[in-house]
Structure 1
């Protein structure tokens, strides 16, 4: 595993090189510190020793200690982490001048959940920021979801806790993934989210020096997602929604109007308050910065937005919570005949393909509004880069995932029927 050599034996003097051949890895070499010798004193892989060569014996003893140190380091590292150290890790160890006992001295073990809960609390309270800003509510929610699933995983496994170092093995990560799939019957995209957040916290463990590597990166763990079936409003359905008469139901009237703001601005949920603050009767565009990306959004003063501004005298009421909007907008959309049609929804849940049939209004979510505006604008011929100015997307590929165009049936029929003439 460890050998020594002289690179250029034709010179009168030279430094001793150490060659390390780790198991299952490429070998590497480095110059032994303070090892310049007379080449004539070098034999077959070691110093010439014997009577009158006490200086050579001292050098050889150093090489022997280095060989023993290296062999022991690799053995203890594998026992601790079930993998061999990289060249960088080994050279860092040598540079530290630590003994193996010092390097492998067991620190107080850190529990994974303790780490996750500690970091989560710091981010909730604003003691730790994300590029100078507080972490978003959705990000904190994803942390809490991870905490809940890890607690349930421990309960199922009959363990009080898992230490951080236990997650260095892919076996435990795959067991957790299997638990999310089979026991919790989660969708593929939800599992992706849990594993992505777990990966992020393990990286924090690496950054804090608690574990030597992130297993997701080291073992190149692939996290899978899938495009979920979603619906968007047609142009006619947009008009139908706006024309619904709720003069006798002020509650539904406000719910519908709030959703129209979503539909005609394409804003994320976190940006609705930013939008209504800049809606005014004098400009052609409403400009604000998106909370999530920091990008400037430029929402044109569409007629519906102007009408809503006039309706509320540009003094919009405080928005309802997303939970209320999500529940009530489905009830409102039942009143539109075309949204009572049955649509197919396919997804992967519990590791199996699931096919469901639902009414279109049942598949409406807050994000449906954002997808709708992006889709209709692109279908109408507005260039992608212009749509991105409205939606505040940073990447074209992300915007393209939003586009859910339906087939132009009238156009298809016109072309097809023309072929028969």
Structure 2
């Protein structure tokens, strides 16, 4: 008998089923192993996952053991006088089903580790780090409740208790909790697709997000920072330049930090974004080109330091640039209102640059569709969170559009 594996759709653009193929003469049978894999990870000649597939070892062990069990079962049947595939069909099907059932009984946290291994291959390091943070919260929650995490307990009561833990013990705001629940739902959906989770309660998990104030620089504040004389403070000067480059291009700090001189073609930045894998062509305005010329003319890249250090230095820079107007931030932690009123410079961070670009561009008359094309935003709902248009801008726009 010939026993081998093959994938259902070798030319598929997404995951496809792995089948066990058994042939005896002209008679042949096939059995769905319950496993899927993307064709790009499948070695047709070797009948196994290619090197580089995140769960290669685990899947190989499963397939090898399944094939061994089927071979042993067929040999036993032959010794009993059963020589046709039709007679062996039920026995093989039982082995395949039993093997799959045994394999799918995966512990919750073991499944989460598998999930992280898979996501490492296709997601940015920053995104994977967010999912690791969720796992840490889940483990801390289980320890706090003195319970064991399992797919069977992920229901409405779990959500209520987990959210209460994130509010009272982890001290997270409602919007942060809402984002974490979305990440958790992504994992649970992944686990459901692989047969690890049979409950669908998680699909209804939801946490209300409150509208929050965002921090952006006005054009005058940005120019004040851009023109600030930092000759005697070279470290701050480099941080300022990288931050302002973000304000002039609208791109994420991670992409700016990865910018290489060869990515610049004339007055365009050809960017392959790290987070979304998009390919963008960013037109560089005179200010952005001036900053680039300052470093690339010497064969250097933009001198980005770590996100954390940049955030620290930006507060010092904002103070030096006189960005001191009082700003009130309101957040909610459960029903608790958390209000902070501080000088604006204390709220500055790397994310402020991207928001500043979007807001100033709109105020200067750029169409939202054009700003989104440059910033890489795909939908207006997400883009809307990045803009800060005051009532004065709205009034001017109305009067301009409807003047006699």
TM-score of the two chains, using structure 1 as the length reference: 0.65
3-state SS, counterpart of residue 181 of structure 2: helix
| Equivalent residue for 1:118, pick from 90, 114, 118 | 114
Aligned match of 1:251: 235
Higher mean alpha-carbon deviation, 260-269 vs 293-302, is at 293-302
Instruction: Confirm whether residue 146 of structure 1 aligns to residue 134 of structure 2.
Output: yes
Deviations 1:210-235 (A, max 9, x none): 22232122xx3333222322111111
1:240: Cα distance to partner? 0.7
3-state SS, counterpart of residue 385 of structure 2: helix
Aligned match of 2:194: 208
Q: How large is the RMSD of aligned CA atoms in angstroms?
A: 3.0
Note if contact 1:267-1:370 (Cα within 8 Å) is conserved in structure 2. yes
Instruction: Confirm whether residue 270 of structure 1 aligns to residue 254 of structure 2.
Output: yes
3-state SS, counterpart of residue 408 of structure 1: helix
3-state SS, counterpart of residue 127 of structure 2: helix
Aligned match of 2:149: 162
Aligned match of 1:188: 174
1:398: Cα distance to partner? 2.1
Note if contact 1:274-1:288 (Cα within 8 Å) is conserved in structure 2. no
1:364: Cα distance to partner? 1.1
Question: Structure 1 stretches of 5 or more lacking a match?
Answer: 1-96, 416-421
Instruction: Confirm whether residue 378 of structure 1 aligns to residue 378 of structure 2.
Output: no
Note if contact 1:371-1:402 (Cα within 8 Å) is conserved in structure 2. yes
1:325: Cα distance to partner? 0.6
1:201: Cα distance to partner? 1.7
1:237: Cα distance to partner? 0.8
Between Structure 1 and Structure 2, how many residues are aligned? Answer: 303
Which structure's CA Rg is the greater one?
A: 1
Note if contact 1:287-1:297 (Cα within 8 Å) is conserved in structure 2. yes
Q: Partners of 1:387 and 1:254 in 2: how far apart?
A: 26
Instruction: Confirm whether residue 341 of structure 1 aligns to residue 333 of structure 2.
Output: no
1:50-89 matches, within 5 Å, as: none
3-state SS, counterpart of residue 345 of structure 2: helix
3-state SS, counterpart of residue 212 of structure 1: coil
1:106: Cα distance to partner? 8.5
Q: Partners of 1:404 and 1:410 in 2: how far apart?
A: 11
Aligned match of 1:175: 161
3-state SS, counterpart of residue 371 of structure 1: helix
3-state SS, counterpart of residue 353 of structure 1: strand
Distance 1:106 1:176, change over 3 A: farther
Question: Structure 2 stretches of 5 or more lacking a match?
Answer: 1-92, 400-404
Aligned match of 1:294: 277
3-state SS, counterpart of residue 113 of structure 1: helix
Instruction: Confirm whether residue 260 of structure 1 aligns to residue 244 of structure 2.
Output: yes
3-state SS, counterpart of residue 211 of structure 1: coil
| Equivalent residue for 1:238, pick from 222, 234, 242 | 222
Q: Partners of 1:136 and 1:391 in 2: how far apart?
A: 18
Instruction: Confirm whether residue 394 of structure 1 aligns to residue 381 of structure 2.
Output: no
Aligned match of 2:49: none
Higher mean alpha-carbon deviation, 379-388 vs 308-317, is at 308-317
TM-score of the two chains, using structure 2 as the length reference: 0.68
Q: Partners of 1:329 and 1:404 in 2: how far apart?
A: 20
Q: Partners of 1:263 and 1:172 in 2: how far apart?
A: 42
Distance 1:184 1:290, change over 3 A: same
Distance 1:385 1:410, change over 3 A: closer
Q: Partners of 1:278 and 1:396 in 2: how far apart?
A: 32
3-state SS, counterpart of residue 306 of structure 1: helix
1:112: Cα distance to partner? 1.9
Q: Partners of 2:336 and 2:198 in 1: how far apart?
A: 36
Distance 1:276 1:302, change over 3 A: farther
1:409: Cα distance to partner? 7.9
1:395: Cα distance to partner? 1.7
1:274: Cα distance to partner? 5.1
